[in-house]
């Protein structure tokens, strides 16, 4: 018969007492070495442990440590379920092409209705400080994949919405920006709605009055056309996304929209002459060595990237041409897209849009002009709506 220890067991009391009496700095060091999924469970140890785990200083320290071990985040749909897999970038970069990998797995059941599928449905936003955001029909979901938490936000009773996740480091707040085009005339946007949902960071508890969508104003009519990228410093957080400006039925211009997460204000950045988001070439925004960049679609191992320089002074664009050698041998007749460049090494990463087993990642070192292919086994077959994100980090934030 298995022995069940009760609360008055002397051994349990001694263990808890010894843990509670540890110095604060030692507690922090212990917590920093634990997996992100384990940390939130320890708030029950004592008020001190709870205050440490919920504090912004601890979360910032944990994120700083996690940045030394960034991950690839792979997400796809299969059998009406959205799957999320993470793999440490360093282990994949250092491994041989024939290596196989295990990964951290989370999943979310989708409310799939194939009669109502839209092009943006079920897309996933790039990770922001460990959190992601995605849509499930008329619901928007925020998730901390490290802890396995999923927070379903109040319904947005509109279809065809665009959403973006950002972070304000000063207010320690995550915000979801949701844009809905209300109606159009002759292809021009006549009316649109912008809403914001605020989530407090780990150091504060969410207040009831904030748990709802708030309407905000944008003076620049536009239709979002790409996913968003959140760029943060110690004092600012800005979400960038590609869009089409439609001030009137005769004017249609491609541009970059920046959304200041703290002030909730919008500004526009013009693209280089001749670059069009809706022209069939430009695909998405990426983070290139800490700068916003626009990538066009990959064509036989070739693509162009426009990097936004000095955005705070005078926005200028520089062009980088990417040509991956021996592309046919690397791609092996699969359709791959460029997902951006790893922050630490600058290597460009390519992955399939959809794939059967095995899933592959192609890396390209532009300085050495070397491309390599690595196959990842265990993800299964018939993957749909596949996305890969770079530099994802673990974070023990509560939702």
Helices H, strands E: what count in the chain? 6, 23
Q: What is the pLDDT of residue 106?
A: 46
CA distance 55 to 34: 16
Which whole-number Å values give the CA distances from 336 to 109, 288, 304, 353, in the listed order? 26, 19, 15, 6
Closest CA to 384 of 79, 72, 73, 71: 79
**Residues 226, 245, 279, 240: is their CA dihedral positive or negative?**
negative
Segment 37-56, tens digit of pLDDT: 889 889 888 889 999 998 98
Average pLDDT for 302-320: 85
Q: Are 60 and 28 in contact (CB under 8 A)?
A: no
> Of 344, 339, 364, which is closest to residue 289 (Cα–Cα)?
344
**Virtual CA dihedral for 32, 33, 35, 40, nearest 10 degrees?**
-40
Element (H, E) at 12: helix 10-20
Q: From CA 293, how far away is CA 295, in angstroms rounded?
A: 6
Residue 24's SS3 state is helix
What's the confidence (pLDDT) of residue 95? 57
| H helix or E strand, kind and range, residue 223 | strand 222-232
CA atoms of 2 and 289, how far apart (whole Å):
56
Yes or no: is domain 62-392 CATH 2.60.40.790?
Answer: no
d(Cα 183, Cα 176) in Å, to the nearest integer? 22
CA–CA distance, 311 with 369 (Å, rounded to integer): 29
How much is the CA Rg of the chain, to the nearest whole Å? 23
Tokens representing residue 224 in the block: 């979002």
Task: Compare 141 and 110 and report the one with higher pLDDT.
Answer: 141
Question: Does position 265 have pLDDT exceeding 90, yes or no?
Answer: yes
Task: Give per-residue pLDDT as tens, 8-35.
Answer: 545 444 444 555 578 888 999 999 999 8
Residue with tokens 């949902």: 197
CA end-to-end distance (rounded Å), the chain = 39
Could you give the CA distance from residue 322 to residue 301 in angstroms, rounded to a whole number? Answer: 8
Q: How confident is the model at residue 398 (pLDDT cuts 50, 70, 90)?
A: confident
Domain boundaries, the chain: 10-54, 62-392
pLDDT at 102 over 60: no
**How far apart, in whole angstroms, are the C-alpha atoms of residue 59 and residue 169?**
12
Nearest to 111 by CA among 166, 161, 155, 165: 155
CB 149 within 8 A of CB 143: yes
Average pLDDT, integer, range 62-67: 92
What is the Cα–Cα distance from 308 to 318, expressed in whole angstroms? 7
């Amino acid at each position: 018969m298995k022995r069940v220890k009760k609360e008055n067991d002397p051994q349990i009391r001694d263990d808890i007492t010894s843990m509670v009496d540890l110095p604060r700095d030692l507690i922090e060091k212990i917590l920093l070495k634990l997996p992100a999924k384990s940390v939130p469970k320890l708030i029950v140890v004592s008020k001190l442990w709870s205050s440490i785990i919920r504090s912004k200083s601890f979360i910032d320290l944990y994120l700083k440590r996690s940045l030394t071990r960034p991950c690839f985040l792979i997400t796809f749909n299969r059998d009406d379920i959205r799957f999320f897999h993470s793999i440490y970038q360093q282990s994949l970069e250092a491994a041989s092409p024939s290596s196989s990998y295990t990964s951290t797995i989370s999943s979310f059941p989708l409310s799939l209705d194939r009669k109502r599928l839209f092009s943006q449905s079920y897309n996933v936003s790039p990770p922001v400080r460990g959190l992601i955001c995605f849509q499930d029909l008329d619901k928007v979901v925020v998730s901390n994949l490290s802890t396995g938490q999923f927070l379903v936000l109040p319904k947005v009773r509109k279809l065809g919405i665009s959403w973006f996740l950002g972070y304000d480091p000063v207010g320690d707040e995550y915000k979801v920006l949701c844009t809905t085009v209300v109606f159009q005339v002759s292809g021009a946007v006549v009316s649109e709605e912008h809403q914001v949902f605020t989530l407090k960071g780990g150091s504060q508890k969410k207040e009831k009055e904030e748990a709802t969508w708030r309407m905000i104003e944008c003076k620049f009519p536009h239709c979002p056309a790409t996913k968003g990228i959140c760029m943060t410093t110690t004092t600012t957080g800005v979400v960038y996304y590609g869009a089409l400006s439609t001030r009137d039925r005769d004017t249609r211009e491609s541009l970059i929209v920046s959304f200041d997460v703290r002030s909730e204000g919008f500004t526009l950045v013009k693209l280089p002459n001749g670059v069009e988001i809706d022209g069939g070439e430009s695909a998405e925004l990426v983070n290139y060595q800490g700068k916003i960049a626009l990538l066009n679609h990959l064509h036989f191992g070739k693509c162009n990237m426009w990097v936004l320089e000095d955005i705070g002074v005078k926005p200028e664009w520089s062009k980088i041409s990417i040509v991956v050698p021996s592309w046919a041998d690397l791609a092996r007749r699969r359709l791959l897209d460029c997902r951006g460049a790893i922050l630490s090494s600058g290597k460009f990463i390519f992955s399939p849009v959809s794939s059967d087993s095995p899933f592959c990642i192609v890396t390209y070192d532009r300085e050495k002009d070397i491309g390599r292919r690595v196959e990842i086994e265990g993800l299964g077959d018939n993957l749909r709506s596949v996305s890969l994100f770079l530099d994802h980090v673990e974070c023990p934030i509560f939702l």
